[in-house]
Structure 1
C-alpha cells in the first residue's frame, strides 16, 4: 500500500513524501487436488467431444448400426460407457453351489442376471437420451434395461478373471439387444443376459442378428465390416481394418475412474415371505382357473399335484434326476388311467398378475374333454436382494374313456 503525504509550509514551495506500508488483506488458496481435478475435468471434456465426433463419423459410415459412446448416469452427468465396466462380485450364494465346476457357476451367474426384471421398452426408449444405472443400483432396485443387464453380467464375468465385453446389436426376436462377448481359447461365446443362454458364434439358433459395437473398461469399438452377421464377423477388434476404435492406442488422455463400487453388498431374502407369496400365487391361480371355466366343473388331482411339487425345486438348478424312482412309479400309475398334458413355466417375479397372465396364455384351462382334472404346483426359488425365480407346473388329466 502506498501513502502519499504532502507538506505545504509556504506559498512559494511545496514538498511531498511517499511511504510504503504492507497491510494483510487476505489470501486465496489453490489446493493441488483442486488443480488436478480441474485438469481431469478438462481431460474428460476433451474425451466426450472426441466421443461425439467418433459417433458421428461411425453413423456416416453405417447409419443403421448401433453405436453408443456416452450416456448419462443417475445424477444426470454425461460419461463414457467404459466407466460402467469393472469386475464386481456376484452373490456368495451363487459361488458356493458349484465349488468345483467353474462352467456351472458361470451358467448360474448368467441365470441370476436373467432373473432381474427387464425395464419395459416404453420406459427405455428416450430418443437417444440414455440413462444407465450402476450395477449395484440395478440389483438393489431389482430392475434394469437391456444394457444394464449386459453390463452386470460382463462385470460378474470379469470377477472370475474372464475377458468379457458388452456387445450392442439387434436380434430378430427382441429388436435392439445388448449381449456379452467372451473370447475363449478357440471360439467366441455370445451370452444373452435376459435369458441366461449362451451361444457359440456359429450357432445357427442364436437369435442375434447383427454385431454393431463393442466396449469394455478401456475402449469402444465400432464394426466397420461389410457383413455384420455374428457368424460372419471377425471378432479380433485389434484389427483396425475391421474395427474402428474410439481411443487410439497409447492414448494420453485422462483415464476416468469407474463409477461402479469396489464391491456389491447383498441382502438375504426373507424365506417366510417367499413361502407366503408361493401360497398366495397358488391359491390365486386355482381360483382363476375355475373362473376361466364358468361352464365346466374344475376338479383337482391331488396325486399329480404332489408329484409336481417334488419336481419343481429340481428344475431351478438342473441338478440330478428330475423324477425319482418313486415319483416315476406314481406317474406310471396315473398314466394307466389318464392322458396327461402339462409343462412347467419359469419366469422372474415382478408381480402376481404377470404370473396369472402367463398361465392364462397357455390355454391349458380351456380343455373341453369330459371328466378333465387339473394339477397345479408353484415353487419360488429365492436369490439375494429379493430376486425370485417363479416356477408354475400346470397339467391337465383326461380320463381314458
Structure 2
C-alpha cells in the first residue's frame, strides 16, 4: 500500500488542506508453518530433505506404524530427534539411596520420571508439528509429554553407561506410547516411563503392542519386519533386512550437537510446603467423606489412622516390610474389626485429582451403621517439586 499526502498551495494563507490517496499493490502472506520450518543450520538442509523422504517411504510400506524423524524445539526450530539424546545426570539424592544396588537405583530413577505429571499431546504427530522440550525444561517445569518422559529416562540410563534407545510404538492400554529400550547382556528390557515399570521382551504381561521405530543420538531406525509385536521383533537394528535406517553409516555430520545441557541443576523441594499440603489434603478428604455420606454419621478410628501413617512412608521406597510393633498393633486391631482398604499412589497434580481417585474406590459408600473409617496421607518429596502422593483409606466394621 502506498500512501500519498498532498497539500493544496492555494490555501496556504488560510489553512492547510490535504487529502490522502491509497493504492493497493498486492499482499504477501507468511504462513506460520513456513516460519517454523526454518532450519537451524543451512548446511543441514539435505538432512531434513532426507528425513522427509525417509518418512514418506516408511509410511508407504507400513502406513499404520509410527515414524518421527524431526520435531520442533522450544524456539520453533526444526531439528532431528537424535539431538535430544544425551547422557544426563539424575538427581544426586536418588543416587545416594541405594549405593550398593545399581538395579534398585535404576528402578528408583524410573520411578522419579514416572512421577513427573504428563501433559496430553494436543497435536497429531502425523502433521509434522510435534514440539518437544529439552530434558532440563521437562524437569524444571515438572511436566512433559510421553516422548519427553521417554527421552529423560533414556538420558538418565545413558549416564550409567547403559545401551539405551527411545522406542515409539502403541500400547493396548495407552494408545501411542514412547518406551525406553535397554540392551542387557543376554536380553532386551522395555521400560514404560509413565509407570516406571520394566518388562522383559518376552513378558506376556507387557502392554506394549507394537514396536514401530527406534532412535538414539546418532540415527533413527524404522521397523520393516512383518510382525512388529515385541515378542516377535528382532531388536538388532544393525541388520538392514529388519530395520530401515535414516542416515547411512558414512554420512558426514550424523551426530549433530545435542540441544541438551551439559548437566541438569536440581533444586530441593520445600519440606514445610509438603507438610502444609499433606494437612490440607487430609482435611479436604475428611470433609468430602462426610459430604459423600449425608445420611450416615462418619466415625474415625484414630488408632488405625495412626498405624496407616507409619506404614505409608515404607511403601514409597519399596521397604514394605512392617516392623514388629506395627504388626502387633495391626493384629490387635483385627481382633475387633474387619478392615477393608488399600493404598492409592499417584503423582501430585492437584487436590481435585486426589479427591476423584478416593471417591472412585467406593469405600465411603458403606451403609453398615457401625462402620468406622481411617484415613492417612503421605507425600514423598523429590527434587524440583516432583511429589509422590499416598492415600490410605480403610473402613472398619466391628465383629458381631
TM-score by length of 1: 0.88
Cα distance in 2 between the residues matched to 1:95 and 1:44: 38
For each residue in 1:94-122, what CA deviation from the matched residue of structure 2 results, as whole angstroms up to 9, or x when unmatched? Answer: 0000011100000000000000000024x
Q: Name 1:390's counterpart in structure 2.
A: 389
Residue of structure 1 equivalent to 2:343:
344
Q: Distance in 1 between matches of 2:387 and 2:320?
A: 22
The match for 1:312 is 312
The within-5 A match list for 1:220-235 is 220-235=220-235
Deviation per CA, 1:335-381: give whole Å up to 9, x if none. 11111001000000001111111101111110112200000000000
| Structure 2 spans left out of the alignment, 5+ residues | 1-38
Question: Are the equivalent residues in 2 in contact too, given 1:173–1:207 (CA < 8 A)?
Answer: yes
CA contact (8 A) 2:67 2:212 kept: yes
Tell me how far apart the structure 2 counterparts of residues 288 and 119 of structure 1 sit (CA, whole Å): 27
1:158 match: 158
What is the aligned partner in structure 2 of residue 202 from structure 1?
Answer: 202
CA contact 2:218–2:254 (8 Å) conserved in 1? no
Equivalents in 2 of 1:195, 1:49: separation in Å? 36
**CA distance in 1: counterparts of 2:109 and 2:40, whole angstroms:** 36
Matched ranges for 1:188-337 at <5 A = 188-253=188-253, 255-319=255-319, 321=321, 323-337=322-336
Q: How many residues align?
A: 361
Residue 255 (structure 1) shift: 3.5
TM-score (norm 2): 0.89
Whether contact under 8 Å (2:146, 2:177) holds in the other structure is yes
Match of 1:18?
none
Matches within 5 A, 1:9-24: none
Name the CA distance, whole Å, in 2 between partners of 1:320 and 1:61. 49
Per-residue deviation at 1:320? 5.7
Higher alpha-carbon Rg: 1
| SS of residue paired to 2:267 | coil
Cα 1:176–1:320 change in 2 (3 A) is closer
Secondary structure of 2:51's aligned partner:
helix
CA deviations 1:145-177 (Å, max 9, x no partner) are 000000000000000010100000000000000
C-alpha distance 72-170 of structure 1, shift in aligned 2 (>3 A): same
Distance 1:211 1:260 in 2: 26
Deviations 1:182-239 (A, max 9, x none): 0101100000000000000000000000000000000000000000000000000000
Aligned to 2:64: 64
Q: Which residue of 2 aligns with 1:46?
A: 46
SS at match of 1:181: strand
5+ long unaligned stretches in structure 1: 1-38
CA distance 1:320–1:357, shift in 2 (3 Å): closer
SS of 1:154's partner is: helix
| Post-superposition offset of 1:124 | 5.0
